[in-house]
Amino acid sequence: MTEYSHLPEDRRVRLERTETVAVKELAPLAAAGAPGVINRPLLAALAGHGLLGQVFRRDGEDFLPTSAIDLCLIREGLARHCTEAETALAVQGLGAYPILRAGRPEVVRTWLPRIAAGEAAAAFALTEPDAGSDVGSLAMRAEPDRGGFRLSGEKAFISNAPDADIYTVFARTTPGAGSRGITAFAVPRDSAGLSGERITLVSPHPIGRLRFDNVFVPGTHLLGELDGGMRVAMRTLDLFRPSVGAFAVGMGQAALDAAVAHAAARPAFGRLLRDFQAVSHQLAEVATRLHAARLLVHDAAAAYDAGSGRTGHLSAMAKLFATETAQFAVDVAIQVHGARALEHGHLLEHLYREVRAPRIYEGATEIQREIIARHLFGTR
C-alpha cells in the first residue's frame, strides 16, 4: 500500500480492516437491499462492525466528533468495495453532525445513541426546488409560535428522505437577510404536517422530497443560534467535503483496479491490452491523478483536524479535484473494457452511475472553484 506511506501504521491498518468488512460483510447486505430505500440491516451492520462508532466516538455518556482524516479513510475504504455502505454511513454522519455539534443536550441524548447504533436514520435537509448552490435564497419559512416555530415549505433531493427518522432542516427565520437569516432545526419524521415522497435518480441511493405543512418544532430543537444556521451548515460541509473526495477516490481506485486487471488479461491483436501504450499510459495517468487526489483529500482533512483556521478552500480543492478525477478514472476504465462494462450489473456500470452525483452535491464543481477563487482574492 505504497500510496498510503504518508499515514501512520494504525491508520493504514484501520483502512485495511474497513476494506475487509466492506467485502465480506457489507457488500452482501447491500446487494440484498432495494434501490432507493434505506437499507436498515446495512445501517445495523455498519454499527455492529464499529464503523459508525468511529464516526460518532463515545467518551462516557458524551459523543465526540470524528477526526476528518479518519472519516476520509473509512469512506475511501468502503467506496472501493461497497458504495452503498459508504453512502449509508456518510448520510448518517451528514445528518447527525449538526445535532452533535450544535444540538441542545436533551436532543443529543435522544438521537445520537440511536443514530450511532444504526437504529435511526438521519438526513441533512438543505436543498430546495429553487435553492441549491445559492443557499441564501432558501424559501422555507420558520415562523415563531408559542414555545417554538412553525415550518412551511419544501425540500428536494434529500438523501434518506422521506424515510429518515430525524432531519437536520434549514429554514428562513429572518426574511430578506439572505444566508444570515437561516436557522437549523432537528425535526423528527413523525412531526405532524411533515410528509414526502421518493425521487428516482440515476444513483440508486435513497433520496426524496419533503413537504412541511405548518410543522411545529419546539425551541429546544434549534441547532445552534437563531439565524446561525449557515454557520452550522458550513461547519458540517467543511468536515464532509474532503470526505466526499475520499468517496470519489475510493470509486476511482476501484475503477483503476478493474481496468488494470482487465488490461493484464485481455488479448487483442496478438498481445495483451497492457502492451498497447495507448492503454497503459491512460492507466498511468489515472493512477497519478488518483494519488494526487488522495493527498489533497488527506491534506484538507489534516488541516481541518489541526484547527488551523479557515480551511474551506482546502476542502473545496479536495472535493473538486477528487470528484473530477474519479469521473475521469471511471470513464477510462470503461473505455478499456469496452461494451461489456456497460452491461447492467457490471462493476463499472454501477460506478458510472454512482460517480456522477458527487460532482453536484455538497457544492457543485463550479461552486468549489468559486470558493477557491474567493480565497485567492481575499473575498467572501
Q: How do the pLDDT tens digits run along the chain, 380 residues long?
A: 457 889 999 999 999 999 999 999 999 999 999 989 999 999 999 999 999 988 888 777 778 778 999 999 999 999 999 999 999 999 999 999 999 999 999 999 999 999 999 999 999 999 999 988 888 899 999 999 999 999 999 999 999 999 999 999 999 999 999 999 999 999 999 999 999 999 998 877 899 999 999 999 999 999 999 999 999 998 888 889 999 999 999 999 999 999 999 999 999 999 999 999 999 999 999 999 999 999 999 999 999 999 877 788 999 999 999 999 999 999 999 999 999 999 999 999 999 999 999 999 988 999 999 999 999 998 76
Residue 200's alpha-carbon distances to 73, 114, 127, 166, 206, in angstroms, are 29, 28, 16, 21, 8
Q: Are 125 and 157 in contact (CB under 8 A)?
A: no
Q: Does residue 362 have an active-site annotation?
A: yes
CA distances to 165, 254, 295, 352 from 288, rounded to whole Å, are 42, 14, 11, 20
Pairing of strands 207-218, 194-198: antiparallel
Domain residue limits, the chain: 2-121, 123-227, 230-377
What is residue 59's predicted lDDT score, i.e. its pLDDT? 75
What are the grid coordinates assigned to 116, written together? 450511532
pTM for this predicted structure: 0.94
Euclidean distance between CA atoms 54 and 75, whole angstroms: 11
CATH classification (class only), 2-121:
mainly alpha
CA separation for the pair 10, 267 (Å, rounded):
41
Query: What is the grid cell recorded at 223?
Result: 441547532
Superfamily of the domain at 230-377: Butyryl-CoA Dehydrogenase, subunit A, domain 3 (1.20.140.10)
Query: Strand (E) positions, the chain?
Result: 56-59, 62-65, 122-125, 141-145, 148-159, 166-172, 182-188, 194-198, 207-218, 222-223, 267-268, 271-272
Alpha-carbon distance of 294 to 28, in angstroms, equals 27
Contacts of residue 270, defined as CB under 8 A and 6 or more positions apart, other chains included, come to: none
- Give the model's pLDDT for residue 1: 45
The pairing of beta strand 166-172 with beta strand 122-125: parallel
> Which member of 324, 343, 362, 370 is catalytic?
362
Dihedral, 78, 81, 87, 88 alpha carbons, nearest 10: -80
Q: Is 59 left (phi over 0), alpha (psi -120 to 50) or beta?
A: beta
Class of domain 123-227 as given by CATH: mainly beta
Cα–Cα dist 55/72, whole Å? 10
